[in-house]
């Protein structure tokens, strides 16, 4: 209580005493209009007026005034108290809102240490671009430490990077065994990489034993089984590019149908046509790949790692690679190793692994939906696939939601993916496909929409894209891919939708950055899959033939091919300013630095590297 309040209380107490004294001693008089206090006021006692703070002749009036004053003070204090509480509540609400706002601006995100599958942009840049949409940071070794096309990576520099990068500080460590031990994806198809498999696996086991394990920090090992086809860079083996896959498929089928005389006869005939040394080298790859997979499953059981992902690269329905893959899967099931996953695919798997472990999405497998734009393709096994794409899709959704809670702090949005598979559709059918995407009545409002363009291998189906127009594609869908195999495109679209869904909880600068990353990746996919793969690549191949050097290796004319690529891509994009990066809007101008640099990451025309602001 303030000094002012204490004084007011003392004054009120003295006034009460004086009023009571006056009431006892003063005679009553007749009340009337001239004297409203008559008959009620205190009597005069004859006391000295100076002895009381209240004059004897006016005590009643002063007492009443003090009471009114006290009531006013109480009302004022109550009003002040109420206003103060209201102000504090308002400030609290504002601070709470601001905290939520800041949380949306600065989401706490995961960090990932990655030994990629190889040095190609689809396994380095694309992974970082997808993850960045949801604010996930992916660090990886410098390109100099990775494979350089046919020059394999070396294990020791990569082990040093893992140690020097403070792996234990990362939320997740993902190690592709193909890159760490077998020189990268392409080189892991070579028999020479498996000559010292036991020593290589022992070195990885020793690293896992000595590294610092931190609770809640996960380590995931990924191994991609070698493909069905032999390496095209092994000239002796590539001579039998048709016969070796046939032999591989026959051996697998005979393992499933022992005693089949027709298959036995066909196999015997192939054995006569292929040199024994070539057969042994080819089969050794899959024997050693199987043993490598067994080691990973053993380490998972020992608790040295948290998850194993084994992928099946370019394949067919049967083959020694398929047999090894399925045998490993059966073995993991017998051991009840629920953290061992077997997925058809290769390049697209890393973004899905990161999404599974870094994004707080909820729901279940039903939050994804797959729809074929061209009917009758549901059971078709597409080129380089071992199973129908709908099974590949189910396999990936099962992985994404395995062990995940259906609850999430984020809003679950339905994710619809459309597959375009036909090379036969006419203009009217193509237009109908885009109409279906735009106004599908089965798709709930607010759903995220993806499109996998898989009518051809490695590139968009140009008539399909041109039916809508390259600049219109993202008025229909949120994510698009049409590169390499059908499984690669499907997995990339799935990952893109998940990361974009994760970004929906952002606000302010964080959302602005996420939107820019999302938009730039949308454009990069069209630049690569449509403008290069479907349009420019054939022009470049014709140019290399005219100039007299092979488009598969460039024969020492790599820089010359890069210069021609830049020229052709700039020409192809002249009429498409909409393809510029998000921070560089407007038409293409001759007086400005070109916003993209197009190069071949390896000396071959199969893929390109698109860099911004170079």
pLDDT over 50 at 315, yes or no: yes
Q: How far apart are CA 10 and CA 294, in angstroms?
A: 92
How many Cα atoms occupy the beta-carbon half-sphere of 459 within 13 Å? 17
Look at residue 54 and tell me if it is in a domain: yes
Q: How far apart are CA 241 and CA 237, in angstroms?
A: 7
Domain that holds residue 92: 3-105
Q: Which of 268, 276, 286, 181 is nearest to 229 (CA)?
A: 286
Q: How many domains does the chain have?
A: 2
Give whichever of 47-51, 96-100, 128-132, 548-552 has the largest mean pLDDT: 128-132
Q: What is the pLDDT of residues 567-606, one digit of tens each?
A: 999 999 999 999 999 776 555 565 567 899 999 999 999 9
Tell me which residue has tokens 């592709």: 176
Look at residue 133 and tell me if it is in a domain: no
pLDDT over 70 at 53, yes or no: no
pLDDT at 67: 56
Look at residue 591 and tell me if it is in a domain: yes
Grouping H, G, I as helix, E, B as strand and the rest as coil, residue 575 is coil
Residue 234 neighbours by CB under 8 Å, 6+ apart:
190, 191
Q: Tell which of 105, 134, 152 closes a domain.
A: 105
Q: Tell which of 68, 84, 105 closes a domain.
A: 105
% of residues, the chain, pLDDT over 90: 72
Look at residue 595 and tell me if it is in a domain: yes
Average pLDDT over residues 191-200: 94
Look at residue 55 and tell me if it is in a domain: yes
Q: Tell which of 73, 105, 137 closes a domain.
A: 105
Q: How far apart are CA 359 and CA 572, in angstroms?
A: 37
Look at residue 37 and tell me if it is in a domain: yes
Look at residue 482 and tell me if it is in a domain: no
pLDDT at 336: 97
pLDDT at 40: 39
Q: Which of 468, 491, 445, 458 is nearest to 606 (CA)?
A: 458
| Percentage helix, strand, coil for the chain under 3-state DSSP, each rounded to 5 | 55, 10, 35
Question: For 11-15, 75-79, 88-92, which range has the lowest pLDDT when averaged over its residues?
Answer: 11-15
How many Cα atoms occupy the beta-carbon half-sphere of 34 within 13 Å? 2
Q: What is the pLDDT of residues 207-245, one digit of tens each?
A: 999 987 777 789 999 999 999 999 999 999 999 999 999
Strand partners, 220: 174, 307
Look at residue 141 and tell me if it is in a domain: no
What are the phi and psi torsion angles at 150 (to 5°)?
Answer: -90, 0
Burial category of 429 from C-beta neighbours within 10 Å (exposed 0-12, middle 13-18, buried 19 and up): middle
Strand partners, 176: 222
46 pLDDT band, cuts 50/70/90, is very low
Tell me which residue has tokens 């089965």: 442
Average pLDDT over residues 554-565: 95
30 pLDDT band, cuts 50/70/90, is very low
């Amino acid at each position: 209580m303030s000094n002012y309040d204490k004084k007011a209380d003392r004054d009120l107490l003295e006034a009460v005493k004086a009023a009571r004294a006056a009431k006892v001693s003063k005679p009553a008089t007749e009340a009337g209009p001239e004297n409203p206090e008559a008959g009620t006021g205190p009597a005069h006692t004859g006391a000295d007026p100076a002895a009381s703070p209240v004059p004897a002749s006016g005590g009643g009036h002063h007492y009443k005034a003090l009471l009114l004053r006290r009531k006013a003070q109480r009302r004022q204090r109550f009003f002040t108290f109420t206003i103060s509480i209201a102000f504090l509540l308002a400030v609290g609400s504002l601070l709470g809102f601001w905290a939520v706002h800041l949380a949306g601006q600065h989401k706490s995100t995961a960090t990932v240490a990655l030994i990629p599958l190889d040095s190609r942009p689809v396994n380095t840049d694309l992974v970082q671009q997808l993850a960045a949409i949801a604010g996930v940071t992916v660090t990886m070794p410098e390109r100099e430490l990775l494979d350089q096309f046919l020059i394999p990576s070396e294990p020791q520099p990569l082990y040093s990077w893992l140690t020097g990068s403070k792996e234990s500080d990362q939320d997740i460590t993902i190690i592709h065994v193909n890159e760490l031990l077998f020189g990268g994806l392409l080189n892991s198809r070579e028999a020479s990489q498996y000559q010292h498999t036991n020593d290589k696996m022992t070195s990885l086991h020793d690293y896992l034993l000595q590294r610092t394990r931190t609770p809640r920090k996960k380590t995931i090992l990924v191994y991609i089984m070698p493909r069905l086809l032999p390496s095209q860079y092994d000239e002796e083996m590539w001579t039998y590019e048709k016969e070796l896959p046939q032999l591989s498929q026959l051996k697998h089928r005979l393992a499933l149908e022992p005693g089949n005389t027709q298959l036995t006869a066909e196999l015997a005939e192939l054995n006569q046509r292929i040199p024994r040394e070539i057969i042994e080298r080819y089969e050794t790859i899959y024997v050693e790949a199987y043993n490598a997979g067994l080691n990973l499953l053993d380490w998972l059981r020992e608790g040295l790692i948290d998850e194993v992902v084994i992928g099946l690269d370019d394949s067919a329905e049967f083959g020694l690679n398929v047999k090894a893959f399925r045998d490993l899967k059966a073995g993991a099931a017998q051991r009840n190793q629920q953290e061992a996953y077997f997925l058809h695919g290769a390049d697209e798997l890393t973004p899905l692994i990161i999404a599974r472990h870094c994004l707080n999405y909820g729901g279940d497998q039903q939050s994804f939906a797959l729809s074929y734009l061209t009917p009758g393709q549901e059971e078709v096994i597409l080129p380089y696939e071992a199973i129908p794409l709908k099974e590949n899709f189910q396999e990936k959704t099962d992985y994404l939601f395995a062990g995940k809670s259906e609850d999430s702090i984020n809003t679950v949005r339905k994710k619809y993916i459309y597959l375009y598979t036909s090379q036969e559709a006419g203009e009217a059918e193509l237009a109908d496909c885009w109409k279906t995407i735009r106004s599908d009545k089965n798709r709930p409002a607010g759903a995220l929409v993806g499109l996998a363009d898989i009518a051809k291998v490695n590139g968009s189906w140009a008539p399909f894209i041109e039916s809508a127009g390259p600049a219109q594609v993202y008025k229909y869908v949120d994510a698009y891919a049409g590169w390499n195999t059908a499984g690669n495109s499907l997995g990339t679209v799935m990952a893109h939708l998940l990361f974009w869904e994760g970004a929906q909880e952002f606000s302010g600068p964080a959302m602005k950055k996420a939107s820019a990353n999302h938009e730039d990746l949308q454009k990069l996919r069209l630049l690569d899959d449509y403008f290069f793969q479907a349009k420019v690549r054939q022009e470049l191949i014709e140019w290399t033939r005219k100039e007299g050097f092979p488009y598969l290796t460039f024969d020492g004319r790599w820089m010359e091919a890069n210069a021609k690529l830049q020229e052709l891509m700039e020409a192809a994009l002249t009429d498409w300013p909409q393809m510029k990066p998000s921070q560089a809007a407007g038409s293409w101008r001759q007086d400005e630095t070109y916003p993209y640099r197009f190069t071949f990451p390896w000396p071959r025309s199969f893929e390109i590297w698109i860099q911004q602001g170079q």
